[in-house]
Structure 1
Amino acid sequence: MRKAYLRTFASAATLGLALAAPAMAQDESAPAEEEAGMLDEIVVTASGRDQTKIESSISVTSVSAQMIQDFQPSSEAEVFKLLPGIQVPGTSGPGGNSNIAVRGLPVATGGAPFVQLQEDGLPVVLFGDIQFGNNDYFTKFDPTVANVEAVRGGSATTFASQAPGAVINYISNYGREEGGYVELKKGIDYNETQLNFRYGGSLTDSMNFHVGGFFKKGRGPLDAGYNTSESLQVKANLTKEFDDGKGYFRLLFKYADTQEPNYTGAPALARISGGKVTSVGPWPGFDGRKDTNYSKYNQSFLIYNRDGNLERVDMDGITTKQKSIGGQFHYEFSDNFTVDNNFRWSDISGGFASPFLGVATRASVLGSTVNGRTVAAIRYASGPNAGQLYTGQYVDNNVNVKTNIRDLGSLVNDLTLAGKFDTGFAELTARVGYFYMDQDIAMDWHVNKSLRELSGNSPSQLDLYDSATLTGVANKITQEGISGYNNNWGSCCARDYDLSYTNTAPYMQLVLDNDDFNLDGSVRFERVKAAGYTIGGGSEFNINSNGVLIPTMTANGAREILDYSRSYTSWTVGGLWKVSPDLSLFGRTSKGGRFNSDRQTVSGKFNADGSLCTRAQATALACTDGVTPSVDFVTQHEIGVKNRGSIGGGRYSVEFTLLKGDFKRSDFEPTTTGICPGGGCVIDNSFKTKGAEFFATLNFGDFNFIANATYTKAKQKFTSTRNGTQVAGSANFGRALGIPDLSYSLTGSYDFADIATLGVTAVGQSGTFDGTLEYPGKTVFNTNLKVRPMENLELGLNVYNLFNTYDARGNGVGVFQTGTPAGITGTPVIGQTFTGSLRFSF
């Protein structure tokens, strides 16, 4: 199987290089059309904003809003499947919480540690892997987005903080062209309705505006029996062009109130032989393509809150509340000097409430000791079978978790001054900038020990009883299926914290550019100041929950004070040879750092005065070295080619990059995972990767084709410790976990005489490895049909997962049933769904 994928990738690369050959013989004065991969577009993300893509010695790709809409991604992160270099399962659902890797830089404990998501050039949250606050919670694709641009490596290292892997920038429509639309989208075979809208244009000769957003409500493709989606987002901007044509001032506004589910997995049947998983399919009664462990019988649950009371909270997935206002200023003082300033203030809060999935046998629960008593019976706690004995073979024994995101607000500003000078043989551009961002992180966690039936049809919570309850209900052990409040992951995770991180970064760049080449180098001097406190859980105590004593933890345990700072330097150097107007070759090397923020807390890495424990102190005081892993560094080397031209009466573009990288990373993992049995591990990782990125476009009149592929050989070695004892690890490099060797997307569309457009997208990847088993790769096909029966009116039909493929994308979390077939868990791609749309443009 792997050889077949390699042959496919090699063929694609060979085609790209073959396409490049004709351009060598072209006349240098031949025009370069924009549709050829949009290589004439100015790069606006993590760059100096004055070079086109074909003349930039960085790996940068844009995808249009229309392409994303036609793809109909099932999650925010699945948008990134359309971008080379970004490796993400994309199965976590519309709420977010995805693991976003880049260029073979794996995700050790969750989130997007090396990838920054931006809106109009600024991060929405500073760190991509905030615990229960990943960056894909807060950035949602909507009708106001004109295109999504991604820079991998290179200048992402020095023009952005905390982004040595990549910057992905959602660029707004600024109303330069008048027009808009209203669109109604409706699930045909599922319950969901969404209203999209946007409009923009001129207010005066020198002022433009744009406003848009969406309203969404419904149960979604995975029907829980109640509305799990209920979201509103509106964004607007107003641009004033200066009369002299030398600049502009822009105001940007955003309001969002979102509620979307986070899919946490499903059981599946599979065959396992020789360490390979094959024939993955749905579990009887729980088909992860259309079922979920969200349930109408578990729409709310009790937690023990930070005020010391039992509180009923909604099982409402990932929720966000956002208000932001920003300003952009650009002015050219002369032909030589320019100033740019980008500012945003954000007020962000929200929450995370989800039933995690875990599988255990009913037999393992019966006879076990829970809360000091022996379990003799399991009964339905809710639903039509409430009170009856539960006789299923398996139970779902993972947590009901509620995290209150009290504050993720921020203030960010990025100022850049640029000067251009003619040296006689080349133009020299010098830039200096200063970045400032203050990021608050205040949360409290509530992770309840929970038990429910293993079912995809509104599973009921399950209550436990001791032997005295076979004839009565006097000695119930649990309440509403909960056997513990806040104590599922031990004292680490009944936590409460209020932290702030202030990131300041002066940076500078020099660019030497002429008709034949450009050379550039840039450096960024980061300083991050951490302050605040964290409080872990204390000793257990019992709470009377409607007559049942439930063991409980609260954040009254060990307190950490944070009062430290780290300074580090990131840099990049690159060069590009302009072989012709349609062909360029580039090379680049970079080293960038990312600050390890809240994932360092509650792990024994801090001294009593708030400073980080050093290696010397770790030996003398039995604390854990916090200085060494507080900044993770990534080194990358890349060479590439960019080419466009004509072929057979059509236009094409090709971008191909070879890359190599290595990095180290350390995190504290509070939960139980395969590399952290029992939870509470410090995970130290070393990684190295090499591979290639490929992006190509082809246009023949009414036919358009876009292909991207990422090939990596990612390797890792890691050690995990709990209470100073190694519990897992390897002294040698082995295959990296969760990273496919090959991932790709292919998109084709054909326009039938401006009356109808038919499009097909294929998204797939090769197999992945979880440390023990190799999971198969699959390809999922999506189609879209747009019909325009009259001017300004468009009818649409999107089919996601056309062939209803069961594609778990390798994100399984272990085997719970041996034999043939075996039982495994994972989060598959949503199954075949039909969505209709009606759009009126004006």
Structure 2
Amino acid sequence: MKLTPLYGCASLVALCSAMSAMPALAQDAAQADSAEAAPETTGLDAIVVTASGRDKTQLNSAVSVSSISSETIQAIRPTSEAEVFRAIPGIQVAGTAGPGGNSNIAVRGLPVATGGSPFVQIQEDGLPTVLFGDIQFGNNDYWTRFDGSVQNIEGVRGGSAGTFASQAPGAVINYISHTGKQEGGFVSINRGLGYDETRADFRYGGPINDTMYFHIGGYVKNGRGPLKADYTVSDSFQVKGNLTKEFNEGRGYFRLNFKVADTQEPNYTGAPALATITGKKVSNIRPYPGFDGRDSSNYSIYNQDFLIYNREGNLERVKMDGITTQAQSFGGQFHYDFDGGITVDNNMRYTSMSGAFASPFLNTALTSSVLGSTVNGRTVAAIRYASGPKAGQLFTDRYLDNNVNVRTNIRDIGSFANDLTLAGKFDVASGKLTTRAGLFYMNQKIAMDWHVNKSLRELNGDNPSQLDLFDSAGNKLTQAGTSGYNNNWGECCARDYDLSYANTAPYLSLDFDHDQFGLDGSVRFERIKSTGYAIGGGAEFPINSNGVTIPAITANGVRENLNYTRSYTSWTVGGLFKVTPNVTIFARTSRGGRFNSDRQTLGGKIRNDGVLCRASDIGSNGCSADGVTPSVDFVTQHELGIKSRGDLFGGQFTMEMTLLKGNFKQSTYELSATRCPGGSGGCVIDAKFKSTGAEFFATYRNGGFSFVGNATYSKAKRQSAGATSYTRSPNLPDLIYTASANYDIGDIATVGVAMTGQTSAIDDAGFEYPGKAIFNPSLRVYPMKDLELGLQVYNVFDTFDLRGNGGIADPTANPVVIGGAPALGRTVSASVRYNF
């Protein structure tokens, strides 16, 4: 591991952070008093409540943890949950998938082999929203929304994340709610300028009497979005609330929680672009004529609904409405302090949840690759516009979009979760020994049916038309641009399944705290019971679609009935040295596991009797691959960190820095042609990964000036199956960073600027794309007490920042045509907020 560039990056960030910062807030949402964070318990003095023992401050915890206040997140001006996550050190995400979600969320150089966030768990008030972060068409960023109900977001990386939470060996991101113990709230309205989008956030809470208090908050959002679709793509609301009753003079409390959400948000699938390529270097990236991904997309009024062949055997018209979710949850939290240092905590939640994924995926292809090809048994002789002002006219453009129209019905992704902990504190050898025993249980449902249509449309960012194909006799080969129902990726992906995963996990920990040092260790025993069924696609058959014969596939092929149990163990050991009251150094080593759930189905890994295939079963009992070994991915991590706080240039700072080293092996099933050899859907991807690096987080405040910054540096490498050496991991920049600075001009106004960026990254073919930074200034004016008027600009310089790399579409052209996912262009909004 070369430390020179590592320390160089860290020194640069440290120098910047020394210029100013804003202490982060924190809240003990699961602790006895459950108070809103008070000024004396902010920054490194805040109690860590996520994936930890819940009784130590950040400064004195031997874990990498950061607490990001809601005010800091609002200052960053995130356009999606993924951009919220970029505020947490160690989290590596492009932030270009859109407000609906479906982001690939990596952590500490542990990449995403296929999709989702396999090593990162997202929680709300200490319990997962979904058990697995990379559920196919159900990634965990669909189900959580930052709004007025959130007081702060806490991120724990590595270490205890794997033993105090299931399926989270990389990180836990916990959205912690206001409780209303301190009275207050606000109402705000944010309106897009130059585009149609309106969002209202609100919250209010306060005491009911001396022992009861409540809080309620949420948001409403509607509009066509900053990419200027010509129909409503955002139509969402969420309401979250809680009611707390304290008893026995504050020694205990009981809290009721609820959430109701109904969201519809677009998922951005990229855009074409032009570039110069020299060797493996991609440079001079700029928008593709007619399709500027900064302010346009392939959401079209001519494709706002489309036909699928549904699971009942009928053609059904469905909406192209992005990612939709419906959720209703309720739960309870109980805490009590008994005599003798014994405490009991229980956290429970039941969630009814469903939704859908509908998106026009994008892929740039040469029109010549379609003309002369065989489609539905005939040779394509002509392409014509299927809709729009040019309907019926010949299509003669050089490029078209030949990717899928996909609709996945998420019939049930509900869950029940409960986490019970018993802890005791004892005086031992001039220190405190804390012992904990806990039991976590969660039952996760996953019921879906997939519909992936072969589709053609023009390559245009302004209401692209679907394209129909014709043979030389003028016979129509497609219907509304669709050349096949459920068959875009072959028989792999016309799926129908109803699965259940019951995760039972007892865990134990010991923690010794001395005036000069601390030692801790914990272990978690995971047991997952898998039941249910999964049905793959069968053979193609013809159907009549408004007079045109179109091939279709439905879920009548291979059936797997799951009935197996998999057990494994995660552990961590850490130590902390208290150098001074304001400086601590810690070290940690850990090995955490995560279970591969629905991604292991229909891959030849389940025996006919429902148990996992072993290597000796291959070739019999319905087995074509080992299912036991790849059913759990293990991550080994080593950490060395320092935390510090103090005075600097007349202000106060906090600083956290952690050196990292980790490795893991992953075997996962890829459904699409995105990364499968030969361009066909359905393959197993096996690889080993390793990473070294560092993460950094700092805050500073001096008078009216404040600053928050973070950076993650990693050298991530991959060794593919059969290879003898490691190469650079794709889609992970060496450095990703976020910063936010604000200056209060008395009680008159606040001027701020946020920055988010990254260095270069490579795609699967090894082409290197440059990294850039975007800047988001803001102005808040206070014309009277409690009233705030705001103006916010995202990407003020309109930078074409291609963060998600989609590969080379046409290397023969000059300039070269590429694909990718750019950040939003210059987007301006105005807001009004009233605090009370």
TM range (shorter): over 0.9
Aligned residue among 785, 799, 805 for 1:811: 805
Map of 1:517 onto structure 2:
517
1:518, distance to aligned residue in structure 2 (A): 0.9
Opposite residue 536 of structure 2, the aligned amino acid is G
2:134 counterpart SS class:
coil
2:211 matched to which residue of 1?
A: 206
Aligned partner of residue 656 in structure 2, secondary structure: strand
- Tell me if the contact between 2:730 and 2:761 (Cα under 8 Å) persists in the aligned partners: yes
- How far off its partner does 1:732 sit? 1.6
1:89–1:811 Cα contact (<8 Å) kept: no
Task: Tell me the residue number matched to 1:506.
Answer: 506
Say yes or no: does 1:106 pair with 2:111: yes
> What percentage of residue pairs aligned between the two structures are identical?
64
Q: Which aligned pairs between 1:306-455 and structure 2 lie closer than 5 A?
A: 306-455=311-460
Amino acid at match of 2:636: T
Q: Secondary structure at the match of 1:814?
A: strand
Is structure 2 residue 693 aligned with structure 1 residue 691?
A: yes
Deviation track 1:623-644 (CA, whole Å, cap 9, x = no partner) reads 2001000000000000110000
Residue 11 of structure 1 and its aligned partner are, at CA, apart by 2.7
What secondary structure does 1:366 align onto?
coil
Measured at CA, do residues 127 and 457 of structure 1 come closer, stay the same or move farther in structure 2, by a change above 3 Å? same
Of 789, 796, 803, the residue aligned with 1:802 is: 796
The residue aligned with 2:575 is: 575
| TM-fit CA distance, 1:364 | 1.7
Aligned partner (choices 812, 819, 832) of residue 826 of structure 2: 832
Secondary structure of the residue aligned to 1:54 is coil
Counterpart in the other structure of 1:559: 559
Give the counterpart of 1:718 among 720, 729, 737.
720
Distance 2:241 2:339 in 1: 30
> Following the alignment from structure 1 to structure 2, what is the Cα–Cα distance between the partners of residues 354 and 15?
44
136 and 17 in structure 1: CA distance in 2 versus 1, 3 angstrom threshold: closer
3-state DSSP class of the match of 2:44? Answer: coil
2:34 maps to none
Distance 2:448 2:681 in 1: 20
CA contact (8 A) 2:795 2:826 kept: yes
- Whether the 8 Å contact between 1:777 and 1:810 is mirrored in structure 2 is no
1:761 aligns with 2:766: no
How far off is 1:377 after superposition? 1.1
Code of the residue aligned with 1:567 in structure 2: it is S
The answer to whether the 8 Å contact 2:800/2:823 transfers is: yes
Partner Cα distance (2:75, 2:806) in 1: 29
Task: Name the TM-score, length of structure 2 as normaliser.
Answer: 0.95
Q: Distance in 1 between matches of 2:768 and 2:255?
A: 50
For residues 99 and 44 of structure 2, the distance between their equivalents in structure 1, rounded to whole angstroms, comes to: 31
Residues 51-87 of structure 1, C-alpha deviation per residue, up to 9 Å, x if partnerless? Answer: 0000000000011101111212111111111111000
The reply to whether residue 232 of structure 1 matches residue 233 of structure 2 is no
Secondary structure of the residue that 1:607 maps to in structure 2? coil
Gaps of 5+ in 2: 20-37
Q: Give, in whole Å, the separation in 2 of the partners of 1:819 and 1:408.
A: 45
**Contact 1:535-1:556 within 8 A present in 2 as well:** yes
Does residue 45 (structure 1) correspond to residue 50 (structure 2)? The answer is yes
Partner of 2:684: 682
State the 1:335 CA deviation.
4.6
Corresponding position of 1:660: 661
For the 8 Å contact 1:36–1:644, the answer to whether it is kept is no
Amino acid at match of 1:672: A
Structure 1 residue 615: deviation in Å? 1.1
Give the match for residue 787 of structure 1.
781
Mapping of 1:23-102 within 5 angstroms? Answer: 38-102=43-107
Q: Conserved in 2, the CA contact under 8 Å of 1:181 and 1:839? A: yes
1:734 pairs with 2:727:
yes
Superposition TM-score, scaled by structure 1 size: 0.95
Distance 1:232 1:656 in 2: 38
SS of the counterpart of 2:353? Answer: strand
Q: CA–CA distance in 2 between the matches of 1:18 and 1:175? A: 34
Q: Give the drift of 1:619.
A: 6.2
1:752 to 736, 745, 755: 745
Contact 1:36 1:652 in 2 (8 A): no
Is 1:777 the counterpart of 2:779? The answer is no
Deviations 1:69-117 (A, max 9, x none): 1212111111111111000001000000000000000000000000000
Structure 1 counterpart of 2:669, one-letter code: F
- Aligned AA for 2:462? N
Displacement of 1:533 in angstroms is: 0.6
Q: Which amino acid aligns with 1:641?
A: I
Q: How does 1:156-167 map to 2 (within 5 A)?
A: 156-167=161-172
Give the whole-Å Cα distance in 1 for the aligned partners of 2:389 and 2:527. 58
Deviations 1:783-833 (A, max 9, x none): 111100001110011100010011111422333343431100001000000
Corresponding letter in the other structure for 1:600: Q
Give the partner amino acid of 1:506: P
The secondary structure found in structure 2 opposite 1:639 is: strand
- CA 818–221 in structure 1, closer or farther in 2 if over 3 Å, else same: same
Per-residue CA deviation, residues 452-503 of structure 1 (Å, 9 max, x unaligned), is 000000001011111112xxxxx21100100000000011100100000000
1:15 positional shift: 4.2
Contact 2:670 2:676 in 1 (8 A): no
Task: State the alpha-carbon separation in 2 of the partners of residues 40 and 335 from structure 1.
Answer: 25
Per-residue deviation, 1:385: 1.3
**Equivalent residue of 1:77, what SS?**
helix
Distance 2:120 2:422 in 1: 26
2:86 match: secondary structure = helix
Report the CA distance shift for 1:311/1:14 in structure 2 as closer, same or farther (over 3 A): closer
- Please show how residues 121-136 of structure 1 align to structure 2 within 5 Å: 121-136=126-141
The residue aligned with 2:652 is: 651
Q: Sort the Cα spacing of 1:529 and 1:154 in 2 relative to 1 into closer, same or farther, 3 A.
A: same
Counterparts of 1:539 and 1:190 in 2: how far apart (Å)? Answer: 46
Distance 1:814 1:602, change over 3 A: farther
Q: Is the 8 A contact 1:34 1:40 kept in 2?
A: no
Paired with 1:102 and 1:214, the residues of 2 have a C-alpha distance of 29
Deviations 1:551-586, CA, capped at 9 Å, x for gaps: 000001110111111100000000111111101010
Question: How far apart, CA to CA, are the structure 2 residues paired with 1:819 and 1:375?
Answer: 24
CA deviation map 1:702-743 (0-9, x unaligned): 000111111111111123xxxxxxxxx633211011111111
Q: Secondary structure at the match of 1:460?
A: coil
Per-residue deviation, residues 102-145 of structure 1 (Å, max 9, x unmatched): 00000000000000000000001000000000000000101000
Matched residue of 2:684: which SS? strand
Partner amino acid, structure 2, of 1:770 = D
Tell me the residue number matched to 2:22. Answer: none
> How well do the aligned residues superpose, as a CA RMSD in angstroms?
1.7
CA distance in 2, matches of 1:35, 1:52: 12
| CA-CA distance at 1:7 after TM superposition | 8.1
Residue 17 of structure 1 deviates from its aligned partner by 11
- Aligned equivalents of 2:399, 2:325: Cα separation in 1: 34
Q: Matched residues in 2 for 1:536 and 1:496: separation?
A: 7
Q: How far apart are the structure 1 equivalents of 2:66 and 2:724? A: 37
Displacement, 1:6? 6.4
